[in-house]
Structure 1
Amino acid sequence: MLCNETIRHGLLRSTTMLAGIGLMGAVGTAHAQAAQEQDAGIGDIIVTAQKRSQNLNDVGMSIAAIGSEQINTRGIARPEDLTKIVPSLTVTSDYRDTPVYTLRGVGFFEQTLAAAPTVSMYVDQVPLVFPILARGAALDLERLEVLKGPQGTTFGQNSTGGLINYIAAKPTADFSAGLDWGYARFGQFDANAFVSGPIATDVSIRVAGATTQGGAWQKSATRDDTLGDQNFTRGRVILDAQPSSDLKLSLMVNGWIDKGDTFAGRALEELTTTGNTISPEVGVSIAAQRLHPRDPRIADWTPGAALRHDDWFIQGSLRADYDLLSNVQLTSITAYSDFSRDSEVDGDGTSAADFVQKTSGRIRDFYQELRGSGEFLDKRMHLNAGVSYQRSKIADIYMQQQNPAGGGLQVSPFGAFLLDDPKGFTRISTLAAFASGDYQFSDRLQVEAGVRYTSSRTHYRGCTADGGDGGLANIVGSIQEQVLGRARTTAPGECITLNDAPDAVPADQFASGFYEDDLDQDNVSWRANLNWKPFADDKLLYANVSRGYKAGSFVMTGANLSSQLAPVRQERLTAYELGFKLPIAGRSVQINGAAFYYDYKGKQIRGRFVNIFGVLERLSNIPRSDILGAEGQVLLRPFEGLSASANATYVRSRVRSNPDGSDYTTFPSRAHDPAAAVPVTGMSFPFTPKFSASADIGYDWAVSDGLKASIGASLTYQGRSRATLTQADPGRPADTSLGARDTYNDPTFSLPAYTLLDLRASLASPDGKYTVSIFGRNVTNKFYATSTTLVLDTIVQYTGMPATYGIKLSVRY
């Protein structure tokens, strides 16, 4: 931590106090909506997907636009909540609590802080460069937009899967304020607030804050203990000024502080992948958890461990818009982000002190974008062009305590160790130039095109170090002397990663030390689109083709060999999409649909291989894979008060050829046995269900004395998927379900399908100033798993929230 950490924390706390000093509430529902509804029928849905305000029915791409009212009523507060409203999106994480976003099957399940995401994140077009920074983004929003498919020709970052743009509620010309208080099951308290209005001539401000406290919903299987209390506070300040008629300035500061509990998993099985001695307590804990196979609350963790976050994030940005001419505008966005993590997590899902990890890290990022945009030829042509520069410095460090209860982790005949210390330091600089435009040939035909050049350089320095007790250094040093035939170079507290580069000089071969490397890459992404309105109304047919890239990166893992830390190269995705947007029945019904095909080259994965040290991890590129899919949406507003929507997505993902040109990979649960290799070509991607869907219905009406009542229900369905890129385990009984022929043959790493039901009801005063609402989420208490992973000695499962219900009181001024 730097000495000015107190200043940062004070700024965030001050932001929250300005918003109401503890009287904080949910995002105001009385403010701008993405869907501007009329008394009957569906009004225009305004989006800014192409960095200007447009009717959604005029934009030829697949976009999910969600307004503030839907964000509020559906309880969208965390990244994983987005899956309720975007069926093709999955959000998952492991014990390090770093979210991973997968959109239409495009994802990268990698927990390294410096790993480039496939789905990029923004708040008001300001990038949140790495996924963990977006944990507090869903605060006081006007709407959010999810763009699907490769992006980069319009927005500041390149991506293969898509992007999510959180659009903050803006300062208002008149004074307004809102407070909400909520109390839910497990003792969870939520409070949010905002205040907005002018503070001087042509200057206005909006201050928003939120806090979530309590809510320990996990129960230990072996003792009277709970986990899951939240202590999460976030805030945002936006200051808008217009010094002249030609210049607009917007200063935004937002951030969050997390001091809540970390998450625990439930152990499903114990393994001996490296011949280690496992504590008997591991088996006792697993047996206790198996007594509650369908209870999502049951998990286990090391008693007395300080399993808590001490994380914070702050970002400041300045946007300037200058009208160079009546039809040409220059825009500058300057941003600086600072994130710190210092958390302790239990990774093995048991009460034994088998694997406890202290994670620390720091991200510092600078971003600058300068672009020009304009309208020409009687507004039939729009052009947008600019450059961006980004510089990031990331430190990612773990201290892992392994298996002291079992007498140490027995990795070889050379001894045991208790502590190891993987660490990685990354510097990334990216320079890009982009341009896009569209031309309206007629009222019915429009063409769009865009191109982007990106040059990126990454420098990495990392290793795994002895934890300071000398145990790991002694093991690796003995291997150097007795197996590799060279002098010992390891020492307590120093790097133990051995240089196995094929071009290493004899003096450096299998010597221990830091691994250091550079990754320089460039690419050209592009997009072409045709929009056609065949009738004299708003019905749109479109076709587009686009290409996007995801940057390569280095990995953070326990590395015995330097080859484990070698970078993964950039991946390339070429997307083809046909779609339609059809308002019908007097605009009381809106039907949207799209079909898409993704040609995937170099998909990045985290895999395993076996050598003299046992099972080791590294990043790899899959040479060829593809995705085929379709999605549909129906919006209904047949008469005043009633609204409904339904969304469904089908995605078929497929590996066409797997790493190293072979047809095999190693199954995690038998990774110690090279003979257990199984084919993966033809398999589907992890965390990519074939079918996903959501539906929502709501009805508003006036009751006696002018009171306004509302009820609603929503469903979320996620189809069956897998948590690893593996096929059947020959050592396990086959899954005889209908999905078995689709290679879902191992039930341990299969994530079963599930459906969640949410309910809500509210009563508001005639003037809308006061509202009381009740809600229930996952009201059927459906048990569902979000991830299953191998952690050292155990296969660990992570589950979703059980049934939760609560009440909320709202005040608006």
Structure 2
Amino acid sequence: MRTFNSKLGLRHIINCTLGTSLSIGAGLSFAEHAPHASGMEEIVITANKRTQNLNDVGLTVAVVSGDTFINQQINSLSDLAQTIPGLSYTNSANNTPIYTLRGVGFYETSIGSYPTVSVYSDEVPLSFPVLAAHTAYDLERVEVLKGPQGTLFGQNATGGAINYIAAKPTDEFSAGVNLSYGRFNEVIGEGFVSGPLSDTLKARLSSRVERADGWQVSNSRPNDANGEVKNYMGRLQLAFEPTDSTSFLLNVNGWKDKSETAAPQYIGLIPQNAILDSGVEAAPFSPLKERAADWTPGLPSADNRMWQASLRGDIDLTDSISLTSLTAYVDYKQTQGNEGDGLPTGDIDLLDNAGKIDSFSQELRLSNGSESALRWVLGANYENSNVDQTVHLDISNTSSNATLGFALGYPISQTIYSSFQEMTNYAFFGNVEYDVADTITLKGGVRYTDAKTNVDSCNMDPTGGANDTGPFFFDILLGGSFGSYETGQCFAVNLLDQPVGSVPIGAPGNYVDTLNEDNVSWRIGLDWNPHSDLLLYTNISKGYKAGSFPTVSAFEFNQYLPVTQESVLAYEGGFKASVFDRALQINGAVFYYDYTDKQLRSKQDGGPFGILDVLQNIPKSTIKGLELELVSRPVSGLIVSTTFAYLDTNIDEFTGINAGGVPADFSGTTVPFTPEYQVGANIDYEFPMTDTFDGFVGGSYTYNSDTVSVIGGDLNPATLADSAVGDASIFEINDYSLVDLRAGIQSVDGRWRVSVWGKNVFNEYYWNNVVAAFDTIGRYTNKPATYGASVTFKY
């Protein structure tokens, strides 16, 4: 019987990650190396839907192994972003994770929005960012593909793709456990059991538990903490091979998140109306320290859960042609509260941010073997997703409440806004590689995608009060023309130039609309191998990301309008070189992106309601940059790696109101969340101590230059009354440097490992986002210095 390894990528090469752990926390395209003469062993990836040596793939792919996640304490999406050059992570105000890769990202807080950087688990799409929150455990590796994707993966993406590859069931019994204890009483336990159940059936059961005390400290209540962690994850895989030509992999996994959501630091006051709430007006700014924050007591919370089932089948139809089927269903439910303003009172808070995602996907593809000079993949995929989100918004301490209550007797205090969406997508794709000579390979791919989204959005008043939000619309704004407000009615007004559904011009109601789009994405390229240890490649690709509708608290229908699909035309050239008998690996790439209709969340003037959220397209922007990475093994046991990434981003054409409420022509400004420079370095040294165990030490360094959280972030709003940062740009994200250290001992046979570690050991104060939330501006900080010890055992 053949082993569970295949040219199609399902049967990944397991021992790729069972060698000596020489990981690169700086984010190089090497994550696990076993000694190979004086150099490093080849790394196997499946980025092209077939098993290949990383150095033979003419794409920019970063790889981080599962052992690296454990050894370097990579416990979150934010930690992963620190290991990949060109990748940035942002925590949104609604706790929706956002990735920006090589300057391509989409800052949108709705759970029902497709990302620019798509995420997969063993090639199965996790279509929306929230679904990938707790995927990183018991991994073989993670592959990050940079640049537009779509000709091979199940979702179009303009920025790139992240593929989490889980460790697979093994031919022989094995088990392992990793326990870690750190600052803030953080306890992390992860383990697996794997092995055969019969001659044709193997299984792997893995799980992870995370718990920690809160690390944020309330400015107004020194004994109150926020940020408690309670996460639970599990995965069961069954690998069934009834014949030598047929195999199936069933993966049932899920997680439960009962942690507390992040609270921002209150750093700026931007009154939207003449009269401020007395509590907001008197509130002091937060100290600019890593742990300082504030929140409404009892508000930051989560009770979210996700489960997924996927079935992969691989059937060899002939000696050279195989059929692959990927079927998946995911179910997600969200119930959480989000602190909006960083104050102990409710200027703007999300009392209940509830959501639900049901998503079904199916992919079928045919491919031939890797041995042929002409290698091809043909396939089709389908997705149907239903995404509902309902947010209970408390605005009882805003300047709108104070001003309208004083002037008109309508102290608006709360709303419930919602969107109910159905997305249906289907696509047909093909990819081909042809060796025109021993050293030259031509590549090409194309994909046709048809996307349809139906939406039903509403904003209503839940209180039933005679002088609250709904009555203000019906009595004052609409002058009583539509009678008295009844609790539960949708009060947003159709101020567009045509009826929407059953809602005529000038009337209130629910917004019902459909967005139909299609596109053709493609890629062409050439690989040249003038030497067995040198690859030169060039690619030109066109990628798309589907449009979407926002989930917003709208007062008029213009806020409900969707953004249309965006596209990127990308030019890239690069090289991969192994020199000095594989003692030194050098990779480099340069790229230029012509970005059309970039999607972003911005603002519009909402009159008495201040600046309110909308989605918009930026007509034109450009991105150019380069990446360089080196991994060397100067002596036995020592791995030294360095990375450098440079980005030059530019908004070529956009006039509007940015997410900070500043109206301007933003041509010539930079793209948000794109530091110009990212530098990383990593050292790992292993050395013998006795006949039975070795010692090891290691350290990682990461530097990110400054960037901004909004377009035109160097401009402060004219309405900024005061701030904690003086005359500085309030939406700036300062540069920062992080240092991680680790040391320990491990058995020679790899059975056990004991380590002590520190992350951000110099206690750098840094943040990843700055958000304007009605009358306030808040900053989302990252964790301070943490340290602890870990024990790993494998059987």
TM score, norm. by length of structure 2? 0.92
Residue 618 (structure 2) aligned to one of 613, 617, 622: 622
Q: Deviations over 1:226-272 (max 9, x none)?
A: 11110001111111010111110000011110011111111002221
Mapped partners of 1:407, 1:677: distance in 2? 21
Preserved CA contact (<8 Å) 2:572 2:592: yes
Q: Which position in structure 1 is the counterpart of 2:750? A: 768
> Which amino acid is the alignment partner of residue 771 of structure 2?
T
Mapped partners of 2:376, 2:443: distance in 1? 10
Displacement, 1:606? Answer: 1.2
Residue 380 (structure 2) aligned to one of 371, 384, 387: 387
Preserved CA contact (<8 Å) 2:232 2:257: yes
Preserved CA contact (<8 Å) 2:271 2:719: no
Q: Which position in structure 2 is the counterpart of 1:23? A: none
Mapped partners of 1:28, 1:704: distance in 2? 22
- Residues 510 and 201 of structure 1: CA distance in aligned 2, closer, same or farther (over 3 Å): same
Give matches, 1:56-67, under 5 Å: 56-67=54-65
Residue 160 (structure 1) aligned to one of 136, 139, 158: 158
Give matches, 1:367-406, under 5 Å: 367-375=361-369, 379-404=372-397
Residue 748 (structure 1) aligned to one of 718, 721, 730: 730
> Which amino acid is the alignment partner of residue 342 of structure 2?
G
Q: Deviations over 1:347-371 (max 9, x none)?
A: 1101113222110000000000000
Mapped partners of 2:573, 2:130: distance in 1? 33
- Residues 645 and 409 of structure 1: CA distance in aligned 2, closer, same or farther (over 3 Å): farther
Residue range with higher mean Cα deviation, 589-598 or 404-413: 404-413
> Which amino acid is the alignment partner of residue 502 of structure 1?
D
Q: Which position in structure 2 is the counterpart of 1:569? A: 564
Residue 220 (structure 1) aligned to one of 212, 215, 218: 218
Give matches, 1:232-311, under 5 Å: 232-275=231-274, 277-280=276-279, 282-287=280-285, 289-290=286-287, 293=288, 295-303=289-297, 305-311=298-304
Q: Report the secondary structure of 2:448's partner residue.
A: strand
Q: Which position in structure 2 is the counterpart of 1:10? A: none
Residue range with higher mean Cα deviation, 397-406 or 219-228: 397-406
Displacement, 1:705? Answer: 4.3
Q: Which position in structure 2 is the counterpart of 1:108? A: 106
Mapped partners of 2:416, 2:239: distance in 1? 46
Mapped partners of 1:134, 1:296: distance in 2? 26
Mapped partners of 1:458, 1:44: distance in 2? 44
Q: Deviations over 1:325-379 (max 9, x none)?
A: 0000000000000000001121110111322211000000000000000038x61
Preserved CA contact (<8 Å) 2:658 2:710: no
Q: CA RMSD in A?
A: 2.2
Residue 171 (structure 1) aligned to one of 169, 173, 182: 169
Q: Which position in structure 2 is the counterpart of 1:360? A: 354
- Residues 541 and 526 of structure 1: CA distance in aligned 2, closer, same or farther (over 3 Å): same
Preserved CA contact (<8 Å) 1:397 1:421: yes
Preserved CA contact (<8 Å) 2:602 2:658: no
Residue 557 (structure 1) aligned to one of 545, 552, 557: 552
Mapped partners of 1:617, 1:145: distance in 2? 34
Preserved CA contact (<8 Å) 1:41 1:639: no
Mapped partners of 1:31, 1:86: distance in 2? 18
Q: Which position in structure 2 is the counterpart of 1:517? A: 513
- Residues 489 and 605 of structure 1: CA distance in aligned 2, closer, same or farther (over 3 Å): farther
Q: Report the secondary structure of 1:704's partner residue.
A: coil
Gap regions ≥5 residues in structure 1: 1-26, 659-663, 734-743
Residue range with higher mean Cα deviation, 31-40 or 391-400: 31-40
Displacement, 1:767? Answer: 3.2
Q: Which position in structure 2 is the counterpart of 1:694? A: 680
Q: Which position in structure 2 is the counterpart of 1:709? A: 695
User: Would you say 1:607 and 2:593 are equivalent positions?
Assistant: no
Q: Deviations over 1:454-474 (max 9, x none)?
A: 001000000211123331011
Q: Report the secondary structure of 1:416's partner residue.
A: coil
Identity over aligned pairs, percent: 36
Mapped partners of 2:632, 2:120: distance in 1? 30
Equivalenced residues, count: 757
- Residues 435 and 752 of structure 1: CA distance in aligned 2, closer, same or farther (over 3 Å): same
Residue range with higher mean Cα deviation, 506-515 or 423-432: 506-515
> Which amino acid is the alignment partner of residue 476 of structure 1?
F
Q: Which position in structure 2 is the counterpart of 1:87? A: 85
Preserved CA contact (<8 Å) 1:319 1:332: yes
Residue range with higher mean Cα deviation, 461-470 or 268-277: 268-277
> Which amino acid is the alignment partner of residue 542 of structure 2?
R
Mapped partners of 2:540, 2:666: distance in 1? 29
> Which amino acid is the alignment partner of residue 464 of structure 2?
D
Residue 495 (structure 1) aligned to one of 487, 490, 514: 490
Q: Which position in structure 1 is the counterpart of 2:715? A: 728
Q: Which position in structure 1 is the counterpart of 2:527? A: 531
Mapped partners of 1:199, 1:130: distance in 2? 35
Give matches, 1:134-153, under 5 Å: 134-153=132-151
Preserved CA contact (<8 Å) 1:28 1:68: no
Displacement, 1:404? Answer: 4.7
User: Would you say 1:801 and 2:779 are equivalent positions?
Assistant: no
> Which amino acid is the alignment partner of residue 242 of structure 1?
E
Preserved CA contact (<8 Å) 1:39 1:640: no
Residue 663 (structure 2) aligned to one of 677, 681, 684: 677
Q: Which position in structure 2 is the counterpart of 1:665? A: 656
Mapped partners of 1:140, 1:28: distance in 2? 13
Q: Which position in structure 1 is the counterpart of 2:14? A: none
> Which amino acid is the alignment partner of residue 369 of structure 1?
E
Q: Deviations over 1:302-333 (max 9, x none)?
A: 12x24211000000000000000000000000
Preserved CA contact (<8 Å) 2:495 2:505: yes
Mapped partners of 1:521, 1:320: distance in 2? 31
Give matches, 1:584-599, under 5 Å: 584-599=579-594
Q: Report the secondary structure of 1:473's partner residue.
A: helix
Q: Which position in structure 1 is the counterpart of 2:6? A: none
Mapped partners of 1:480, 1:730: distance in 2? 27
Preserved CA contact (<8 Å) 1:393 1:428: yes
Q: Deviations over 1:425-463 (max 9, x none)?
A: 000000100000100112210011000000010000002
Q: Which position in structure 2 is the counterpart of 1:131? A: 129
> Which amino acid is the alignment partner of residue 295 of structure 2?
W
Mapped partners of 2:511, 2:190: distance in 1? 46
Preserved CA contact (<8 Å) 1:189 1:215: no
Preserved CA contact (<8 Å) 1:31 1:142: no
Mapped partners of 1:207, 1:642: distance in 2? 34
Residue 350 (structure 1) aligned to one of 343, 352, 370: 343
Q: Report the secondary structure of 1:286's partner residue.
A: coil
Preserved CA contact (<8 Å) 2:631 2:641: yes
Gap regions ≥5 residues in structure 2: 1-16, 23-30, 721-725
Structure 1 residue ranges, 4+ long, deviating more than 6 angstroms after superposition: 27-33
Displacement, 1:640? Answer: 1.6
Displacement, 1:615? Answer: 2.2
Preserved CA contact (<8 Å) 1:774 1:806: yes
Q: Report the secondary structure of 2:459's partner residue.
A: strand
Give matches, 1:25-40, under 5 Å: 34-38=32-36, 40=38
User: Would you say 1:580 and 2:575 are equivalent positions?
Assistant: yes
Q: Which position in structure 1 is the counterpart of 2:47? A: 49
Mapped partners of 2:269, 2:589: distance in 1? 44
Q: Which position in structure 1 is the counterpart of 2:319? A: 326
Q: Which position in structure 2 is the counterpart of 1:737? A: none
Q: Report the secondary structure of 1:454's partner residue.
A: strand
Q: Deviations over 1:532-589 (max 9, x none)?
A: 112x322011111000000000001110001110111000100000111111111100
Displacement, 1:55? Answer: 0.9
Residue range with higher mean Cα deviation, 402-411 or 610-619: 402-411
Q: Report the secondary structure of 2:475's partner residue.
A: helix
Preserved CA contact (<8 Å) 2:459 2:491: yes
Q: Report the secondary structure of 2:67's partner residue.
A: helix
TM score, norm. by length of structure 1? 0.90
Q: Report the secondary structure of 2:699's partner residue.
A: strand
Mapped partners of 2:82, 2:151: distance in 1? 28
User: Would you say 1:426 and 2:413 are equivalent positions?
Assistant: no
Q: Deviations over 1:507-551 (max 9, x none)?
A: 8222111100000000000000100112x3220111110000000
> Which amino acid is the alignment partner of residue 237 of structure 1?
L
Preserved CA contact (<8 Å) 2:269 2:777: yes
